[in-house]
Amino acid sequence: MLGRTDSRLRLVVLLGVFVAIAALLGTRLAYWQLGEGPELRRAAEADSVRPAVSEVRRGDIVDRSGNILATTAYRDLLAAYPDQMLDAQRRAEICDRLAQILGYDSDRTAALLASLTNSEGNPVPYLIVERQLTSEQSDAVRAGLASHDLIGLGLEAHPVRIYPSAGGSPGTTLASQLLGFVSQDGQGRYGVEQESQDVLAGAGSATADAGDAPLPQAGGDVQLTIDASLQLRLEKELYAAWVADRAQRVTGLVMNPYTGEIMAWGSVPGYDANAYSDVAQRSPGLFVDPVVSQVYEPGSVMKMFTAAAALEEGVVGLETPVKDQKKLVFGESTVMNFDKKSMGTVAFEDAIAHSRNVATGKVALMLGDTTDAASAVLYDMWQRLGIGQTTGVEVPNESAGLVTDPALTRWHPIDLVNRAFGQAVAVTPIQLAAAFAAMANGGTLVHPHLYTADDAAAEADLAQAISPELSDTLRQLMVHVVDEGPHYAEETKIDGYVVGGKTGTAQIWDTRTGAWLPNIYNHTFVGFVGAERPEAIILVRIHDTEPRVPKRWGMSLEMTSNELFRRIALDAISVLDLQPLPGYEQPGTTDQQSPDAGAEPGSQASPAPNPDASPPAAPGQPAAEQRRPATKAGR
């Protein structure tokens, strides 16, 4: 039989055990609350400033064939946790090591060290050191963490915008001004990146406290009508002209005359969109795209608009005799031809081919019984062909130009004559390209566009601006200009293809001095190339340059605007596989590649200094109405 045991001692022992356990728990709790409390609070703060973010992937921008123009890749962000770096000496050692990896100088190293602590001298919980490391820098940081030479650092992969294709000039990316760039806050800036921000950026980000919010959706891709191969060739040609002519800038574009599809579009100098922040500090003006955002007086290319109005009104035909003179005098203003001479009586088509200012001005005065009536006729033609209006092409900051409505501000005879040959009216290159397309394609004003998704809408948006018969006559006139214009044929024509167009050489009014810039001009050529019909509209503009090559007829550019047109036309023929005229056999020994920069030096004669034009007012203001000397320049 088991004996009875006393339970009092057992209860005392158990009570002692519980008291000891409680004491240990209390001591441990006090340790975490008092001893480790500050560290835990700093860790909590670090978590609060680093929410768990799921970044969406920005969509790609591709050309008409699917070649990537802009894409998203992942790069490491370097973060620091200074409160995990033990002490001030260790923080200084880590800063020195990072300075070697990141290439910091002494000032930047000191700034980094100072940023690791707050105003009270306590280490901050979290700091972004660099937002984007190179792969070599990331590898060096990882090696330092593995060897414990570095502590309190982290690498966080995040998406960055990449522009993978080099442009046609050194230090640039392809189509930089057309595409724009993406800033660190994920916003598209300029160009397609800005215009298509909503599509490319996706549905946004989801954070750790988003609850039941839907997951973010990746951005959509955007396909452009641009042909990357032709774009690269265009940029190379523009760069060659920029170097040869020592121009401020050179701009060009290639467009389908029937659909308005932009196949190439660029300006030199461009920039490296992968290094946009450096460009912003050094040359922010490079972000502005002159194809749509800069207006200028184009000069004699506008004679084609005067010809369109005169032919439509029946004032003249192509072979109607027109008397050229040395000058026209309007009070204190005088209009002269570029050579200060008269050709006498010539056919109207020859007056345009030889770019006679006086003859063109006289025909403009014949457009109506009065100056007011004639001005209204010319202005109406401008309006129907899109001058003074935005084209609606899908990029931001398009300018409508600077055009004075004669119904609101009366044109005097000198104003009408000046505007008849392209002074005192300011346009954009994209406007000119669309207008010349209508002159060449049967009379329809196309909607220039850059997105393949807009093809159907652009075709539905066609408007008959002029009659097909007038378009046929204007196309014939543009071919005649190339065939008969002074020195144009040898620089412009292409065997096996039909080429037509018009040059423009315009003086530049200096608003600071109230006078013409001496020997500085804008040079433009707008035209088409094709076989049985025009296949591509090509515009080039050589900005603000001085002719320096002496010729027997005057000073010329090293590479003229019509020669630059020809080089780009040859590129378009090659890339777009444009077929020659039926029955034409390409000579086996003929090299159809564009000549090198400086070869076949240009012969576009530049006008003498011009004290006579009425250029437009400053951007944002109506075209100038004050009496300025009339222009005598223009080719």
Positive or negative: CA dihedral 382, 446, 582, 589: positive
Q: Are 68 and 226 in contact (CB under 8 A)?
A: no
What lies within 8 Å, CB to CB, of 170 at 6+ separation is: none
Q: What is the CATH number of the domain that holds 81?
A: 3.90.1310.10
Give the pLDDT confidence of 30-66 residue by residue, as tens digits: 454 545 555 545 444 444 344 444 467 899 999 999 9
How far is it, in rounded angstroms, from Cα 307 to Cα 467? 14
Domain that holds residue 304: 228-575
Do residues 115 and 262 share a domain?
A: no
What lies within 8 Å, CB to CB, of 281 at 6+ separation is: none
Q: How many residues does the chain have?
A: 635
Q: What is the CATH number of the domain that holds 245?
A: 3.40.710.10
Q: Which of 127, 162, 197 is the last residue of a domain?
A: 162
Do residues 374 and 465 share a domain?
A: yes
Angle at the Cα of 234 from the Cα atoms of 228 and 237, rounded to 5 degrees: 145
What DSSP line would sit under 537-552, residue for residue?
EEEEEEEEE---EEET
pLDDT surpassing 60 at residue 363: yes
Indicate the number of domains in the chain: 2
Q: Which of 112, 131, 162 is the last residue of a domain?
A: 162
Q: Print burial letters for 197-234: b (CB count within 10 Å at least 16), e (below 16).
A: bebbbbeeebeeeeeeeeebeebebbbbbbbbbbbbbb
pLDDT at 399: 96
Do residues 158 and 263 share a domain?
A: no
* Bridge partners (DSSP) listed for residue 321: 347
* Bridge partners (DSSP) listed for residue 504: 524
How far is it, in rounded angstroms, from Cα 465 to Cα 468? 9
Mean pLDDT, rounded, for 333-358: 94
Domain assignment present for residue 196? The answer is no
Please give the torsion angle defined by the CA atoms of residues 135, 139, 144 and 150, in that order, rounded to the nearest 10 degrees.
30
Give the pLDDT confidence of 392-410 residue by residue, as tens digits: 999 999 999 999 999 999 9
Do residues 443 and 532 share a domain?
A: yes
- Judged by average pLDDT, the poorest of 43-52, 195-204, 437-446, 466-475 is 43-52
Give the pLDDT confidence of 286-315 residue by residue, as tens digits: 999 999 999 999 999 999 999 999 999 999
Higher pLDDT, 358 or 76: 358
pLDDT surpassing 60 at residue 14: no
Domain assignment present for residue 171? The answer is no
Do residues 532 and 385 share a domain?
A: yes
pLDDT surpassing 70 at residue 442: yes
| Residue tagged 């009496």 (tokens) | 627
pLDDT above 70 covers what percent of the chain?
Answer: 81
**Residue 7 corresponds to which tokens in the numbers above?**
């339970």
Domain assignment present for residue 215? The answer is no
Domain assignment present for residue 617? The answer is no
Do residues 352 and 237 share a domain?
A: yes
Domain assignment present for residue 304? The answer is yes
Do residues 143 and 289 share a domain?
A: no
Closest CA to 168 of 247, 242, 268, 70: 268
Alpha-carbon distance values, 471 to 65, 210, 280, 438, 524 (Å)? 32, 61, 45, 7, 21
Q: Are 436 and 304 in contact (CB under 8 A)?
A: yes
How far is it, in rounded angstroms, from Cα 555 to Cα 606? 6
How far is it, in rounded angstroms, from Cα 528 to Cα 520? 27
Do residues 283 and 379 share a domain?
A: yes
Domain assignment present for residue 446? The answer is yes
Do residues 138 and 236 share a domain?
A: no
Mean pLDDT, rounded, for 108-132: 89
What lies within 8 Å, CB to CB, of 302 at 6+ separation is: 419, 420, 421, 422, 425, 504
Q: Alpha helices of 496-600 — where are they, by DSSP H?
A: 561-575
Do residues 452 and 541 share a domain?
A: yes
How far is it, in rounded angstroms, from Cα 423 to Cα 436? 18
pLDDT at 553: 64
Phi first, then psi, for residue 250 (nearest 5°) are -135, 135
Do residues 105 and 250 share a domain?
A: no
What lies within 8 Å, CB to CB, of 93 at 6+ separation is: none
Mean pLDDT, rounded, for 102-123: 90
Domain assignment present for residue 23? The answer is no
Phi first, then psi, for residue 93 (nearest 5°) are -65, -40
Q: Which of 112, 128, 162 is the last residue of a domain?
A: 162
- Judged by average pLDDT, the poorest of 135-144, 164-173, 565-574, 597-606 is 597-606
Average pLDDT, the chain: 85
Give the pLDDT confidence of 73-106 residue by residue, as tens digits: 888 889 999 988 888 898 899 999 999 999 999 9
Expressed in angstroms, the distance from the first to the final Cα of the chain is: 133
CA 354 to chain centre: 33
- Give the 3-state secondary structure of residue 401: coil
Domain assignment present for residue 138? The answer is yes
What lies within 8 Å, CB to CB, of 238 at 6+ separation is: 168, 169, 250, 251, 252, 266, 267, 268, 540, 564
Give 27's pLDDT tier (boundaries 50, 70, 90). low
Do residues 127 and 263 share a domain?
A: no
